[in-house]
């Protein structure tokens, strides 16, 4: 992650210095050398007050502390999703983060994918009117090893959180209710370590919009990332990008190649555009987007989805950690 | 409906006589003349014991009585969906219907659509393994007039019921739970007469399969009927049939024509194949399919979806009207 | 062929009597019985003067004689393509046919295919302006046995003749020049009996339009029949109709089923609409279309293409058998 | 062109120094500064013997002289297509170029497009067997101003030359005959300055393969670059890459966005991969591809196509400037 961001940062015209940090100094040195950056011990960098912008790509459990310290010094902070390990820790950190809300960008990279951005543009242009129904498919290609799940916050908190953000962004509205159905259908071993691998989530927007998200940790056919929005004017959809544009037609029918295998192959442009947008905002001292509020809201919905998974019931979304109404919350964050 | 079935019946090689009936004799005479059939007063036909097979295409409120009388005489009975106006009346009729279950076919025509049938065939052949996630889109082109809704049992009981049957058929399994989210998003006037126009239904199969159905009374672009099934082996989907295969590429991009506008244009083959399958079964004294049990189960799920819509909660499906377990129920019906 | 037309004829509302004929009376009797028609010895039928319309579906060598005799009696005549075995015999017959030109329809069924008709409609509506470039693909699925070629007039005269007619119809213009390149690429045995199996023909319309036709006797993937027209306004294309609309996406990519295997599966609607159009014209005593002139012109181009194949040079098309100018010819035919 | 190549060169790991040259020193200085390169007067650079590789992106009339001088010094030379202004000047230069044939790469960038490369890979893997028929569409979006045509060698020599190279590369064979049909259909003003704007070229490979190329200077819908190959095993095709993957379905049908507008948007990867392949070959002292022979052959076919356009007749391709047989020629070039 750090490596990927470094490339984008070095290409930005306003980048003067890039410094690599890590809790492990030797790793910081190594990476910095590799990407052609200086290096500094992490604490020193965070406390120096010398940086205009930070990219936080550490493990989720370290996000809130690092973001808070970086923001306190007046810097712009880009934080990979999720904002924190769980909603409780985010709620606890909010008093110290709230006043920096406009300078804290959260890594919902899909908003910057040119295809998703084109969809958003058309929705804003009223091409189909208000969204009435929305469907998001977000299915990974290769399921994680059971052993690798110790540090994973799971399908909902790590994967679906992107889709919760997409939902809010595309609806241009808050989620009012969430009902999540999930279980281990790919591999029962996941269930034995407390994880689900397949989930379908039903959400209601504040104006009654009906949203469905289909998540899975495994497809046989590639990284499946599609969106379909329905309104009075019709249907807008984003398809998976094709692989090579060679089609073969033979005695068994028509064949096309696999789609992209993973997020690295699917979203390189999105990551670059995301970093550029953040650095542009930092350069111009503009408000970032998606911001702290967006990071909070997605984690909030993820928590409610997890609650629903346990309770087997729909859960109301009232964004209580900020305030009953996220619009009010927005005012708080924005000062 | 009667007219459409008549054409199929007259083309069946085992059809000797076709007789038209109606509660209104003059209408029966008129229709019979038009389609080249004899005619008989309805009661006379039902009681005559002279017919091998009946097609019941009357209003839903008349279904159960006519089906029961026709079946009692030993005839095969094709009944348009739904089997009855509501689950209570079906439950009440079951003691008299149960023993004829194998001779009562319910009009879930989509099972006979060649594209849906091909999907089913591939699922049975194990092309993608067990279904883990399923998505059905079923959206009508033209929403009904508010005035026309007096005799309508609504979006769930009239439209979604097809999708509940598709779900059971494609999963090859029973539904264990249903959660329905719906409201009037197209026209608030629908809400004022107690109807919803847009619904998203989340169902769970008995093995944890996750199913989503998206229904709406209105699209701007035609009759939208698509299915997508996900399993370990991949993804199987049924697209909407294209209209004319002419594509135009010009200064504003690539354009294709509208899809079929309605069920008449989308499913003519399905209706013909459905009637033929029923008459074939009647000729050979075979069990029909979908049968009474299937008709019951779809109405049962529709009732639970309606309950969920009211309660705002997921509803368990235990098929109580038949017995706790539909497999047992199946034994009852089949004797 | 006769069987197929019989079905369409029997469904036409103005059909009073259908009579089957054959040079072999016992075959005529058999077929007539099968299709529910009367029968008559061929000569008797042709000379009776009792029929409003004839369908000539005999071998090409018999066409001209039968068409002439049928037309002489005042009947409308539908003649399967080609009008005659070769251009010389057609030229010889023209003095006797010319005055009946408006009552002689030639079996270019593709004009009646709804997809091709939609393309024509859009061209007439000026959707892309004048055609500048045109490309027709017409490739059969299963190549004929070498033994079956004794009675075959070959790839150009039997298959490409359809495409020559399509060219004239879509351009709404005459062909001015033709250059044909062909050889036996599928099977050298074809060359040994004087046939080619693969041809590419380049034609120029009278206004300089550039047309390319790709023919082959064999594909591995079905009956390939596509058209693409380019003009100032853009591109119009007709694709092959899909088979079942089920797509499968798996570890080897995306797969769709085969297209239609042959003309029987591809053009059933076209044959029905063609017969209906002819019988409608006969009922109303209207001019038919495509008519004698169109049948002549396609055979003329086929002859020139065959000449080009031999000479290796482009051949000018001057439609000499009728007159230098086909427009004048048209006047002759139409009287 | 120079600018585009500079970017690729600077990213190559073996690039030590990049120097900009131009016949106009002030332009050379300006460009060099812009791209971060040193600069040198052109003659000095060509004669210095200090460079491992040259990129020649000057006007076609300067190609042969610069390529010859650069190659004489032992450097690898990349030359934009065409190799020379016309076949006569190339023929005249060949005695001095022949011995450097393996170090002279000609800029047929489409060979490096990942989609075309995938097609080639599948052809080599025998996916459809030998090509029997081939169709190439290559149509530009925006036609040139009539005034800009003074320095243009025209549709055949500038655009179709790419397709002649594609033909040889995909067939893995030489062209034996070419017949070109062309005229000014877009704008008669082109004809008045001796140009055509629309061409269809029919070629025959040495084994009888049938090739069709459709060229035009104008589409309304973008840069149309498609290939379709037919063999015993089926059909392989390369489609145009889509623009944004957003589809809209509304009351007028299904709509997709425009394809890429021009070669800059269509082939950026191809240019980068092309430059990298050349520099890799130069670094390793390998033979380049496409090489001098390929550059010669494409210009040769272009000349024959131009001859055919004038004569109205097919022209035989015997590659006489090199020798009767290009395989022999190959030996000459390769030493």
Mean pLDDT of chain D: 92
**Both tokens of residue D74?**
């032992």
pLDDT at C56 over 90: yes
- Whether A249 has its CB under 8 Å from any CB of chain C: the answer is yes
- pLDDT band of C283, cuts 50, 70, 90: very high
User: Most C CBs within 10 Å: which of D156, D173, D212, as the mutation test of the C interface?
Assistant: D212
Please tell me what DSSP assigns to residue B102. G
- pLDDT band of A324, cuts 50, 70, 90: very low
pLDDT at C324 over 60: no
* Winning range, highest mean pLDDT, from A146-160, D152-166, D317-331: D152-166
In chain C, whose CA is at the least distance from the CA of D197? C132
pLDDT reported for residue D213: 98
pLDDT at B281 over 60: yes
Q: Which residues in chain B have their CB less than 8 angstroms from residue A191's CB? A: none
pLDDT reported for residue B322: 54
- Calpha distance C277→A195 (Å, rounded): 66
Higher local confidence (pLDDT), B151 or B66: B66
- Calpha distance B119→B125 (Å, rounded): 10
- pLDDT band of D326, cuts 50, 70, 90: very low
- Calpha distance B125→C175 (Å, rounded): 52
User: Most D CBs within 10 Å: which of A244, A254, A257, as the mutation test of the D interface?
Assistant: A244
- Whether B145 has its CB under 8 Å from any CB of chain D: the answer is no
Whether residue D239 contacts residue A247, with contact meaning beta carbons closer than 8 Å, is answered with: yes
What percent of chain B has a predicted confidence (pLDDT) above 70?
A: 95
pLDDT reported for residue B136: 98
- Calpha distance C173→C193 (Å, rounded): 35
pLDDT at C269 over 50: yes
Q: Span D309-333, mean pLDDT?
A: 66
Q: Which residues in chain A have their CB less than 8 angstroms from residue D250's CB? A: 127-128, 233-235
pLDDT reported for residue B255: 95
- pLDDT band of C319, cuts 50, 70, 90: confident
- Calpha distance D143→D130 (Å, rounded): 36
Question: Which residue, among D258, D298, D276, has the nearest Cα to D9 in the 3D structure?
Answer: D276
Which of residues 13 through 42 in chain C touch A, CB cutoff 8 A? none
Chain D neighbours (≥3 Cβ pairs under 8 A) are A, B, C
pLDDT at D153 over 70: yes
Answer yes or no: do C249 and B235 touch at CB < 8 A. Answer: yes
- Rounded to a whole number of angstroms, the distance from the CA of B64 to the nearest CA of chain C is 36
Q: What are φ and ψ of residue B256, in 5° steps? A: -125, 160
Q: Span A84-105, mean pLDDT?
A: 94
Question: Which residue, among D7, B233, D200, has the nearest Cα to C252 in the 3D structure?
Answer: B233
pLDDT at C326 over 70: no
pLDDT at A325 over 50: no
pLDDT reported for residue B332: 38
Whether residue C208 contacts residue C234, with contact meaning beta carbons closer than 8 Å, is answered with: no
pLDDT reported for residue A320: 63
Q: Span D196-225, mean pLDDT?
A: 97
Q: D258 Cβ partners below 8 Å, 6+ apart?
A: B251, B252, B253, B254, D221, D222, D243
pLDDT reported for residue C237: 97
Q: Span B209-216, mean pLDDT?
A: 98
Answer yes or no: do A115 and D240 touch at CB < 8 A. Answer: no
Q: Which residues in chain A have their CB less than 8 angstroms from residue C220's CB? A: 250-251
- pLDDT band of A185, cuts 50, 70, 90: very high
D220, D250, D253 member nearest B250 (Cβ): D220
Structure ipTM:
0.93
What percent of chain A has a predicted confidence (pLDDT) above 90?
A: 84
A179, A221, A235 member nearest B202 (Cβ): A179
pLDDT at D140 over 80: yes
- Alpha helices by DSSP H, listed for chain D, are 2-11, 25-35, 42-48, 60-72, 87-97, 114-124, 154, 161-171, 188-192, 263-266, 268-284, 292-311, 326-334
Q: Is the pTM of this model over 0.90?
A: yes
- pLDDT digits 0-9 by tens, A99-124: 999 999 999 999 999 999 999 999 99
In chain C, whose CA is at the least distance from the CA of A258? C253
Q: Which residues in chain B have their CB less than 8 angstroms from residue D243's CB? A: 253
Chain C neighbours (≥3 Cβ pairs under 8 A) are A, B, D
In chain A, whose CA is at the least distance from the CA of D254? A235
pLDDT at A77 over 80: yes
- pLDDT band of C64, cuts 50, 70, 90: very high
- Whether D255 has its CB under 8 Å from any CB of chain A: the answer is no
**Both tokens of residue D192?**
């008045």
Answer yes or no: do A214 and B230 touch at CB < 8 A. Answer: yes
B14 alpha-carbon distance from chain centroid: 25
- pLDDT digits 0-9 by tens, D230-275: 999 999 999 999 888 999 999 999 999 999 999 999 999 999 999 9
Q: Which residues in chain D have their CB less than 8 angstroms from residue A235's CB? A: 247-250
- Whether B325 has its CB under 8 Å from any CB of chain D: the answer is no
Answer yes or no: do D254 and B220 touch at CB < 8 A. Answer: no
Q: Which residues in chain B have their CB less than 8 angstroms from residue A224's CB? A: 235
Q: What are φ and ψ of residue A295, in 5° steps? A: -65, -40
Q: Which residues in chain D have their CB less than 8 angstroms from residue B220's CB? A: 250-251
Q: Which residues in chain C have their CB less than 8 angstroms from residue A252's CB? A: 255, 258
- pLDDT band of D320, cuts 50, 70, 90: low
Q: Which residues in chain A have their CB less than 8 angstroms from residue C257's CB? A: 253-254
In chain B, whose CA is at the least distance from the CA of C252? B234
Please state which of the ranges A5-14, A33-42, D319-328 shows the lowest mean pLDDT. D319-328
- Calpha distance B165→C198 (Å, rounded): 50
Mean pLDDT of chain B: 92
Q: Span A6-23, mean pLDDT?
A: 92
Answer yes or no: do B256 and D253 touch at CB < 8 A. Answer: yes
B233, B237, B241 member nearest C247 (Cβ): B237
pLDDT at B334 over 90: no
Q: Span A168-188, mean pLDDT?
A: 97
How long is chain D? 335
- Calpha distance C84→C93 (Å, rounded): 9
- pLDDT digits 0-9 by tens, A19-62: 999 988 888 899 899 888 999 999 999 999 999 999 999 999 99
Chain B neighbours (≥3 Cβ pairs under 8 A) are A, C, D
pLDDT reported for residue D333: 38
- pLDDT band of C69, cuts 50, 70, 90: very high
**Across the strands, what pairs with B227?**
B136, B238
- Rounded to a whole number of angstroms, the distance from the CA of D275 to the nearest CA of chain A is 21
- Rounded to a whole number of angstroms, the distance from the CA of D81 to the nearest CA of chain C is 26
Answer yes or no: do B245 and C235 touch at CB < 8 A. Answer: no
- pLDDT band of C25, cuts 50, 70, 90: confident
- Calpha distance A24→A31 (Å, rounded): 11
pLDDT reported for residue C335: 33
pLDDT reported for residue C320: 62
- Whether A244 has its CB under 8 Å from any CB of chain C: the answer is no
- Whether A232 has its CB under 8 Å from any CB of chain B: the answer is yes
Q: Which residues in chain A have their CB less than 8 angstroms from residue C256's CB? A: 253-255
- Calpha distance A262→A240 (Å, rounded): 11
- pLDDT band of D325, cuts 50, 70, 90: very low
pLDDT at C329 over 90: no
- pLDDT digits 0-9 by tens, C162-213: 999 999 999 999 999 999 999 999 999 999 999 999 999 999 999 999 999 9
- Rounded to a whole number of angstroms, the distance from the CA of D163 to the nearest CA of chain B is 23
User: Most C CBs within 10 Å: which of B120, B244, B252, as the mutation test of the C interface?
Assistant: B244
- Whether B147 has its CB under 8 Å from any CB of chain D: the answer is no
Please state which of the ranges B243-252, B298-307, D173-182 shows the lowest mean pLDDT. B243-252
Strands in A82-161 per DSSP E:
104-106, 131-139
How long is chain A? 335
Answer yes or no: do A247 and D233 touch at CB < 8 A. Answer: no
Q: D200 Cβ partners below 8 Å, 6+ apart?
A: C133, C202, C210, C211, C212, D180, D181, D182, D212, D213, D214, D215
Q: Span C210-219, mean pLDDT?
A: 98
- Calpha distance C328→B278 (Å, rounded): 60
- Rounded to a whole number of angstroms, the distance from the CA of B236 to the nearest CA of chain A is 11
- Rounded to a whole number of angstroms, the distance from the CA of D223 to the nearest CA of chain B is 11
- Rounded to a whole number of angstroms, the distance from the CA of B254 to the nearest CA of chain C is 9
Q: Which long-range contacts (CB under 8 A, 24 or more apart) does C183-189 make?
A: C183/D208, C185/D132, C185/D208, C185/D209, C186/C143, C186/C216, C186/C217, C186/C218, C186/D132, C186/D232, C187/C143, C187/C146, C189/C146
Whether residue A209 contacts residue A134, with contact meaning beta carbons closer than 8 Å, is answered with: yes
């Amino acid at each position: 992650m750090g490596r990927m961001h470094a490339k984008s940062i070095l290409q930005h015209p306003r980048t003067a210095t890039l410094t690599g940090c890590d809790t492990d100094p030797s790793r910081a040195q190594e990476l910095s050398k590799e990407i052609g950056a200086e290096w500094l011990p992490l604490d020193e960098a965070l406390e120096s007050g010398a940086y205009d912008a930070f990219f936080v790509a550490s493990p989720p459990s370290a996000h809130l502390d690092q973001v808070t310290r970086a923001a306190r010094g007046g810097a712009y902070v880009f934080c990979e999703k999720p904002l924190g390990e769980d909603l409780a820790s985010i709620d606890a950190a909010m008093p110290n983060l709230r006043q920096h809300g406009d300078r804290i960008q959260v890594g919902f990279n899909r908003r910057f994918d040119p295809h998703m951005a084109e969809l958003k543009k058309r929705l804003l242009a009223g091409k189909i009117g208000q969204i009435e129904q929305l469907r998001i498919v977000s299915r990974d290609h290769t399921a994680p090893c059971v052993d690798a799940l110790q540090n994973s916050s799971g399908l909902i908190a790590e994967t679906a959180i992107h889709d919760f953000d997409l939902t809010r962004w595309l609806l241009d509205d808050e989620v009012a209710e969430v009902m999540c159905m999930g279980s281990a259908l790919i591999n029962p071993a996941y269930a034995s370590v407390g994880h689900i691998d397949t989930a379908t989530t039903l959400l209601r927007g504040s104006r009654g919009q009906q949203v469905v998200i289909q998540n899975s940790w495994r497809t046989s056919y590639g990284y499946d990332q599609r969106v379909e929005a329905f309104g009075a004017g019709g249907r807008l959809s984003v398809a998976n990008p094709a692989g090579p544009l060679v089609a073969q037609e033979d005695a068994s029918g028509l064949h096309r190649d696999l789609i992209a295998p993973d997020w690295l192959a699917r979203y390189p442009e999105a990551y670059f555009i995301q970093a550029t947008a953040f650095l542009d905002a930092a350069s111009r001292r503009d408000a970032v987007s998606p911001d702290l509020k967006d990071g909070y809201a997605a984690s909030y919905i993820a928590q409610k989805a997890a609650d629903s998974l346990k309770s087997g019931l729909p859960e109301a979304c009232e964004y209580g950690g900020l305030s009953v109404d996220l619009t009010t919350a927005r005012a708080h964050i924005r000062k």
